[in-house]
Amino acid sequence: MRRLTDTWNLAHLTVPNRVVLAPLAGIGNWFVRLQAQRYGAGLTVSEMVSSHAVHYGNEKTCTELLRIHPDERTTGPAGPVAIQLFGQDPDIMRSAARTVADAGADIIDLNMGCPVPKVMKTGAGAALIKDPDTAVAVAAAAHEGSGLPVTVKLRSAVKKGEADGFELARRLVHEAGVQAICFHPRSAQVHHKGEPDLELAKALVEDLPVPVILSGGMNEPAWIVDAFEFTGAEAIMLARGGLGNPWLFARLLERYEGEPTRDEILDELDWVLDRAVEHLGADRAGRYLRKFYPWYVDRLGEGKALQEALQATGTIDEARAVLAPLRPAPTAA
């Protein structure tokens, strides 16, 4: 029987296990990927990055979003790192993909599933499901530009009840040489709501000659293992279920049992604060982490008061001051 702890192959790469960090816009920077690796993730994917911004040399994009930290090469199973690009112009994609290869990525993942109107109205993200000729040209260009294995993350369809993402996945593999499909079997119309269509994912796994990585609904270990077994997917991808919950990676990989203690959660949050400062400097890190705090507050089982106190902080020092009283004072010997 296949296990999540087994290795697998993606093109010429060996991936050390079958638990993958999903791309998460505005979140999946190097330290979030590194955190997932510390808990065992075998493959990590960056947040989506604009191919146009890379092509035109936008400074923040190129220095922050394309940054791969040396620790990602040595931590945990030190599996491959994929950078996810979005865009609908093959020439721009070819150029951006070259820059991403120079930045040290192992894989280029292409976003053909983003349902956000700002992205779709440019013809990128899930809009490519309705424009398969362009999608195939973009994927081929990403490989030409980078020489790297290209994977595509896409949805089952744009509209509920349709399945044209399935047909596009086949064309991407057979015509553009895409090396794996990350399949999120929900339509763009429902964004992230509702049950993923595991029957459709299973059919795709049976149809394609390349690995399918399954995304969607990955919150509970038992459900995740059932979905992995039922669909026959090569690997599974954690998205919302892993936010502020890196222990989910470790539980699935049989490295951790049960729930983290309060001290473990607070230690982890400390690690995040330190790394955010390393990434963005103390000022920007203080504001950036406001979107991270709620995940850890929930995991701590704390409520509104702590949430509001952390949201009111502007600096890392203020956040540390809010968190300090949550640690029990050391008892006198």
Ligand X SMILES: Cc1cc2nc3c(=O)[nH]c(=O)nc-3n(C[C@H](O)[C@H](O)[C@H](O)COP(=O)(O)O)c2cc1C
**224: its two tokens:** 């995740």
Helices 221-231 and 198-207 cross at an angle (nearest 10°) of 40
Residue-by-residue DSSP string for 262-308: HHHHHHHHHHHHHHHHHHHHHHHHHHHGGGTHHHHHHHHT--HHHHH
Indicate the residue among 105 and 323 with the shorter CB distance to ligand X: 105
**Residue 123 CB, nearest distance to ligand X (Å)?**
16
> How many residues would you count in the chain?
333
Q: Which of 189, 187, 152, 202 has the alpha carbon at shortest distance from 173?
A: 152
Contacts of 9 (CB under 8 A, 6+ apart): 15, 211
Out of 48, 68, 82, 119, point to the residue binding ligand X (CB under 6 A). Answer: 48
**Residue 73 CB, nearest distance to ligand X (Å)?**
23
Only one of the segments 17-25, 59-67, 172-180, 322-330 lies at the binding site for ligand X (rule: CB under 6 A); that segment is 17-25
Largest CA distance in the chain: 72
Q: Count residues near ligand X (CB under 6 A).
A: 20
Out of 35, 84, 88, 187, point to the residue binding ligand X (CB under 6 A). Answer: 84
Only one of the segments 110-118, 138-146, 269-277, 308-316 lies at the binding site for ligand X (rule: CB under 6 A); that segment is 110-118
Only one of the segments 3-11, 137-145, 169-177, 210-218 lies at the binding site for ligand X (rule: CB under 6 A); that segment is 210-218
Instruction: For residue 115, state whether it binds ligand X (rule: CB under 6 A).
Output: no
Out of 29, 95, 111, 187, point to the residue binding ligand X (CB under 6 A). Answer: 111
Indicate the residue among 145 and 241 with the shorter CB distance to ligand X: 241
Only one of the segments 71-79, 98-106, 211-219, 249-257 lies at the binding site for ligand X (rule: CB under 6 A); that segment is 211-219
Say how far apart CA 277 and CA 273 lie, in whole Å. Answer: 6
In sequence order, the β-bridge partners of residue 112 are: 154
Alpha carbon separation from 60 to 54, 67, 273, 302 (Å, rounded) = 10, 10, 20, 35
The amino acid at 81: V
Contacts of 168 (CB under 8 A, 6+ apart): 112, 128, 129, 132, 135, 154
Instruction: For residue 215, state whether it binds ligand X (rule: CB under 6 A).
Output: yes
Instruction: For residue 87, state whether it binds ligand X (rule: CB under 6 A).
Output: no
Instruction: For residue 241, state whether it binds ligand X (rule: CB under 6 A).
Output: yes
Indicate the residue among 45 and 269 with the shorter CB distance to ligand X: 45
Instruction: For residue 83, state whether it binds ligand X (rule: CB under 6 A).
Output: no
Indicate the residue among 92 and 237 with the shorter CB distance to ligand X: 237
Only one of the segments 5-13, 129-137, 215-223, 254-262 lies at the binding site for ligand X (rule: CB under 6 A); that segment is 215-223
Say how far apart CA 31 and CA 72 lie, in whole Å. Answer: 9
Instruction: For residue 187, state whether it binds ligand X (rule: CB under 6 A).
Output: no
Instruction: For residue 24, state whether it binds ligand X (rule: CB under 6 A).
Output: yes
Instruction: For residue 61, state whether it binds ligand X (rule: CB under 6 A).
Output: no
Indicate the residue among 138 and 323 with the shorter CB distance to ligand X: 138
Instruction: For residue 290, state whether it binds ligand X (rule: CB under 6 A).
Output: no
Instruction: For residue 90, state whether it binds ligand X (rule: CB under 6 A).
Output: no
Indicate the residue among 41 and 323 with the shorter CB distance to ligand X: 41
H/E element, 82: strand 81-86
DSSP secondary structure code for residue 221 in this structure: H
Say how far apart CA 173 and CA 180 lie, in whole Å. Answer: 8
Cβ(178)–Cβ(210) under 8 Å?
yes
Q: What residue ranges bind ligand X (CB under 6 A)?
A: 22-25, 47-48, 84, 111, 113-114, 153, 184, 192, 215-218, 239-241
